[in-house]
Amino acid sequence: MTVQLASLVWGASEPLHLARFWAEALEWQITGETDGKVSLMPADETGFTLVFAPGAAAKAGRNRIHLDLSSRSAEDQHATVARLAGLGASEINIGQEPDARHVVLADPEGNEFCVLEPGNNFVTYASRLGSITCDGSRAAGQFWSQALRWPLVWDQDEETAVRAPDGAQQFITWGPPVAPKRGQNRLHLDVAPPPGGDHGAEAERLLSLGAKRMGIGQSETPRIVMADPDDNEFCVLAPR
């Protein structure tokens, strides 16, 4: 009855505008808007949603979490970059080498993401959304492996990666360097126990693994705001 990954949440200045960009980018569907939050439902086998919420933190350096999009061929990669540029993305340089095979872009609100070269071993090719990639420590990767009970599929040179046991979902990866924490992250994970799960017991289990409670958003019960070992915020939602 452990928590499951429910959603990746983005703080946005214009949630609907940003949601429309990512709906087109991933070929997912906007499923509704509630209290200013816009949700995207995957049109593939992805097991979590994207949620765009009002109140983006000021951009101060690189985001600690970004998406990596997959490509099946060099031609597919080039076509994807061109299509995303037409939707409002822009190519940026965050220090990558001139001969880097991946392409770094920013979405319309400046959030970094990558279109990876074909043949990358740490993305799924069942979806355009290949992985959730985090600047993070080995401790963070180990925490999330235990929190989700997803096995570590990579643990070497201070880099870690986890994937759902069925092997059909996206990877989540962590690796240095860890960007300095400058206020609240723009992107965070939401997790939730499955139907019939014990919300309080799961929160206590996460605390025992190294999470800590945060003093933000706690009035929105039963949403519990926590931080992982790298001080990245995440939310524990009610069973769903």
pLDDT at 139 over 70: yes
Residue linked to tokens 């014990």: 198
Instruction: Assign 218 a pLDDT band (cuts: 50, 70, 90).
Output: low
- Read off the pLDDT of residues 157-209 as tens digits, 9 standing for 90 and up: 999 999 999 888 899 999 998 877 888 999 999 999 999 999 999 999 999 99
The reported pLDDT for the residue numbered 1 is 72
| pLDDT value for 221 | 58
CB atoms within 10 A of CB 224: 23
Whether the per-residue pLDDT at 216 is higher than 90: the answer is: no
Name the least confident of 61-70, 96-105, 128-137, 211-220: 211-220
The residue type of 112 is E
CA 42 to CA 22: how far, in whole Å? Answer: 11
Band (217; pLDDT cuts 50, 70, 90): low
Alpha helices in the chain (DSSP H): 15-26, 74-87, 138-148, 199-208
Say how far apart CA 200 and CA 108 lie, in whole Å.
Answer: 38
| Residue 183 pLDDT | 87
- Alpha-carbon span 194 to 224, nearest angstrom: 16
> What is the predicted pLDDT for the residue at 60?
82
User: Is the pLDDT score of 110 beyond 90?
Assistant: yes
* Mean pLDDT score of the chain: 93
Q: In what order do the strands lie in the sheet with 103-106?
A: 90-91, 103-106, 112-115, 65-69, 129-135, 171-175, 159-162, 152-156
The fourth-level CATH superfamily of domain 4-236 is 2,3-Dihydroxybiphenyl 1,2-Dioxygenase, domain 1 (3.10.180.10)
Which residue's entry shows tokens 């999009």? 69
Domain ranges of the chain: 4-236
| Contact of 77 with 103, CB cutoff 8 Å | yes
Q: What is the CA radius of gyration of the chain?
A: 17
* pLDDT value of position 137: 96
Does residue 119 surpass a pLDDT of 90?
yes
Backbone φ and ψ for 201, nearest 5 degrees, come out as: -65, -40
Span 25-50, average pLDDT: 94
pLDDT beyond 80 at 52 = yes
For residue 58, the model assigns a pLDDT of 81
**Location of structure tokens 């960009």:** 21
